[in-house]
């Protein structure tokens, strides 16, 4: 049985990076998408990672991009020595194949879940995973979703079954409105290979809350997946 990985995303400063590792994060996410609340510049990221790696040289750092060019992404990979890249836009499998680091590819659930074509989503996921760089998927809610959190899905047996089946067959993180208050239910319902949290462990956009991060990580690390679930679906290549 594999305990789900924990990605704390939207790190914007060295203190929060250190606190996230202290709390128990496996992966730290730095967002390089301009005009977003948790954007960090290349220079800011260098400062964050310089301090972080002096204390935690083996921490896994994820750079988050959306519809940016391969050359821009590669500049960040080389300048920062980031461990993997999360692609949050319309990047194709062919685009992913150009990236020199392992890729986490984001898939967005339909804003109204009953309209989700799970068969099409599974076919799409399988096509991306044929690319060697794509080693992990991320299932997230789109902006403007009628759901406040993926925990809302757990309220409906029919909807939760649709999504749960996806996690049984694909190495996949789950994101979307996760907090210390709903993560236990989300883990029990979906049993993902990992979880991704940003706003749910913050005081304000871009400023983390140590107590919330500790509480979130403790709940995840205590969780025990069902036997034989996800044994070959580790999201840590």
Average pLDDT over residues 210-236: 78
| pTM summary value | 0.92
Least confident of 24-33, 107-116, 194-203, 214-223: 107-116
Strand ranges (E), the chain? 5-9, 27-31, 60-65, 84-87, 103-108, 134-140, 172-175, 194-197, 202-204, 207-208
Q: Which tens digits make up the pLDDT trace of 129-144? A: 999 999 999 999 887 7
Q: Which tens digits make up the pLDDT trace of 85-95? A: 999 999 999 99
Q: What are the sequence ranges of the domains in the chain?
A: 5-222
Q: Identify the CATH homologous superfamily for domain 5-222.
A: Aldolase class I (3.20.20.70)
Cite the active site residues: 9, 140
pLDDT higher than threshold 70 for residue 10: yes
Predicted local confidence at residue 127, as pLDDT: 96
Q: Which tens digits make up the pLDDT trace of 97-132? A: 999 999 999 998 865 655 567 788 889 999 999 999
């Amino acid at each position: 049985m594999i305990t789900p990985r924990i990605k704390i995303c939207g790190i914007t400063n060295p203190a929060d990076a250190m606190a996230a590792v202290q709390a128990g994060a496996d992966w730290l996410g730095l967002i390089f998408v301009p005009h977003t609340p948790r954007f960090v510049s290349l220079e800011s990221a260098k400062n964050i990672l310089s301090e972080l790696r002096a204390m935690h040289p083996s921490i896994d750092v994820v750079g988050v991009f959306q519809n940016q060019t391969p050359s821009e992404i590669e500049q960040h990979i080389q300048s920062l020595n980031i461990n993997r890249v999360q692609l949050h836009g319309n990047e194709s499998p062919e685009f992913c194949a150009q990236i020199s680091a392992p890729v986490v590819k984001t898939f967005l659930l339909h804003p109204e879940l009953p309209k989700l074509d799970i068969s099409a989503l599974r076919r799409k996921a399988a096509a991306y995973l044929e690319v060697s760089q794509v080693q992990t998927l991320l299932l997230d809610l789109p902006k403007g979703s009628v759901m406040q959190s993926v925990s809302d899905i757990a309220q409906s047996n029919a909807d939760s079954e649709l999504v749960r089946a996806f996690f049984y067959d694909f190495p996949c993180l789950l994101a979307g409105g996760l907090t210390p208050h709903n993560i236990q239910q989300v883990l029990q319902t979906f049993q993902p290979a990992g979880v991704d949290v940003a706003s749910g462990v913050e005081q304000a956009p871009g400023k983390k809350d140590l107590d919330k991060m500790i509480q979130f990580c403790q709940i995840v690390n205590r969780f025990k997946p069902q036997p034989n679930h996800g044994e070959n679906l580790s999201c840590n290549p």
